[in-house]
Structure 1
Amino acid sequence: MALMLAALFCFAVLDTTGKYLSRSYPVGVLVWARYMVPAIVLGAVLWPRMGRELLATPRWRLQVVRAALLAGVSFLIMGGLKFIPMAEGTSLFFVTPLIVTLLAGPVLGERVTAANWILALLGFSGVLLIARPDGHLPPWPVIMLLCGSLLYALYQLATRRLAATERPFTTLYYTALVGAVLSTAALPAASHSALPGPADGLLVLSLGVSGMAGHFLLIRAMAFAPASVLSPLIYVQLVWATLMGWWVFGDLPSPGAVGGAALIVACGLASAMMAHRR
């Protein structure tokens, strides 16, 4: 549990830094830095010790698919948060645990009951409270964040399947390497952007550090507990996202967003309690 909580703090720092930088630099450049930095660091540190063993795995296809899912999440979440306050954006992303619970049946063979479906529907009604189709939040960023939550749910399930048999550093390196390769394709579209100064340059590099630390901690956490139990802990990230959004951007969630987030959290926690009892 402590590993998961530490991972969530790293992710909140990653999201806040990405949102801050996205006001001045293209999202594609930021996603590229988020993966290229750990790819270089992990390669430099681990390759001399492990050599080809670093990439050796009988499940390389699942490793590549898992890493590609996370790269897609990074583009969608960073792109969506560029236009939406931290608290609201993070709350929309919190439908992930409900999706994990529903998909755990067909993917992991876990039992999904009618009560799970009811809780999921109630949780998605919380999304409507946050998004409120009244012009308060732009629709496309909301859709991006919801699509990101679906990809992240699939990523979590893939992580769970790999955690029991794969070396953590191998999984982490595949994450960085595949993400770096895929995000490189976005660089030509950002060729017109200005280069960051020293301060912003350090923040860009920190995207890779916080992402690398967070996903290593997540991989280790998934090795010790089921996905349906750990995933609701993601709600702790809402506290950090709200505090960081207020501190960095001066944003506080609206009453409707608070109500929607509370409904999503309540449904997710209830679903986790049911899974734990089973």
Structure 2
Amino acid sequence: MEDTSGHAASRSRRLAGIALMCGTLAFFACLDASAKTLAGHGVDPLLSTFMRYAVNVGLVLMVLNPVRTPGVARTNRLGLQVLRSLLLFGSTALNFLALRQLQLAETLSIQFATPLMVALLAGPLLGEWSSPRRLVAVGIGFLGVLVIVRPGVGAFQPAVLLSIGNMLCYAFYVLTTRKLASVDSTATTVFYSGLAGLAVMSPLLPWIWTTPTAWSTWALLVGVGLFGTLGHWLLVLAHARAPANVLAPFIYTQLLWSVMLGYLVFGDVPNRWTLIGASIVIGSGLYLLAQERRSARTRPAQR
């Protein structure tokens, strides 16, 4: 009886984790939609980037600060924490700049190549080498990205290079996060996450600031910070309730949110190349996930 109740409780926690993960991705899609809307209203994407980090840092400091959490600012790898924070800032800024010209579904489909890039770079940078099968999956996934961006054809937009830069920054951000997990606490890493972005953007305010005249613009500027912060908060809660390999496939539900918001807010309909390329990238990512699950199951038997 106890086993049955324990299994039911575990299943309930996993379902709660999945629900939180889906909420996370809905917030991230709203973040991108807000940034694109602001760009359409003439707001400098760099100002949106500043607000993304100003709101984030303000909310984080209310919970995590040296007064309430002594030692939270103490890190064993300050340089790596700063680099990680700068990579997150670079990812956000490049994404917001790309969204001025690209559809939500286009930028997101390119971002889905992040796990593939992480798998490719984890070997030389972290010593986590991929098998030949995984490398083939990575190669196929990048073919999917080429289908989306279609370099060398008339439909190619230079803005996709910004989105690719966003993907690369985020891949290195993930790798530095993995590295820091072994030397610093999660609270310390969260504390430093938005500081570099705020530090870089604050001196630029006199050149990028324009006072919004509409309350809706103010709401969207605050929204980019709230959506990002709440999304990451729900992400932490989700991972506290369910294993990463259970949650990972639901990352791709963000494409559904982005397509829906793109259509409802901007009237955008993804073209067939975006959908075909996204399908290839998602398929490659799911294959890598399946390989990781199989490896995790066989690892104890190999000891």
Q: Say yes or no: TM over 0.5.
A: yes
Q: Give the structure 2 partner of residue 176 of structure 1.
A: 194
What's the offset of the Cα at 1:180?
0.8
Closer, same or farther: CA 63–4 of 1 in aligned 2, 3 Å: farther
Alignment partner of 1:156 is 2:182: no
Deviations 1:43-69 (A, max 9, x none): 234337525523122233222111110
Identity of aligned residues (%): 35
Q: Give the structure 1 partner of residue 278 of structure 2.
A: 261
Alignment of 1:20-99 (within 5 A): 20-23=37-40, 24-47=42-65, 49-50=67-68, 52-99=70-117
Q: 1:202 aligns with which of 219, 222, 225?
A: 219
| CA distance in structure 2 between the partners assigned to 1:6 and 1:164 by the alignment | 28
Q: 2:256 aligns with which of 236, 239, 248?
A: 239
Which AA in structure 2 matches 1:213?
L
State the TM-score, normalizing by the size of structure 1: 0.88
Indicate if the aligned counterparts of 2:50 and 2:198 stay in contact, CA closer than 8 A: yes
Q: Secondary structure at the match of 1:187?
A: helix
Closer, same or farther: CA 63–215 of 1 in aligned 2, 3 Å: farther
Which AA in structure 1 matches 2:191?
Y
Cα RMSD, aligned residues only: 2.5
Greater Rg over alpha carbons, structure: 2
Deviates more, 1:57-66 or 1:41-50: 41-50
Deviates more, 1:42-51 or 1:102-111: 42-51
| CA distance in structure 2 between the partners assigned to 1:114 and 1:48 by the alignment | 46
Q: 2:126 aligns with which of 78, 90, 108?
A: 108
Deviations 1:245-264 (A, max 9, x none): 11111111111111111011
State the TM-score, normalizing by the size of structure 2: 0.82
Alignment partner of 1:10 is 2:27: yes
Indicate if the aligned counterparts of 1:163 and 1:219 stay in contact, CA closer than 8 A: no
What's the offset of the Cα at 1:237?
1.4
Closer, same or farther: CA 92–8 of 1 in aligned 2, 3 Å: same
Q: Give the structure 2 partner of residue 138 of structure 1.
A: 157
Q: Secondary structure at the match of 1:47?
A: coil
What's the offset of the Cα at 1:36?
0.6
| CA distance in structure 2 between the partners assigned to 1:64 and 1:164 by the alignment | 16
Aligned length: 275
Which AA in structure 1 matches 2:201?
S
Structure 1 unaligned segments of length 5 or more: list them.
none
Deviations 1:133-190 (A, max 9, x none): 4332412x10111111011011112223334564433322211222211122432331
What's the offset of the Cα at 1:15?
0.9
What's the offset of the Cα at 1:20?
0.8
Which AA in structure 1 matches 2:155?
H
Structure 2 unaligned segments of length 5 or more: list them.
1-16, 296-303
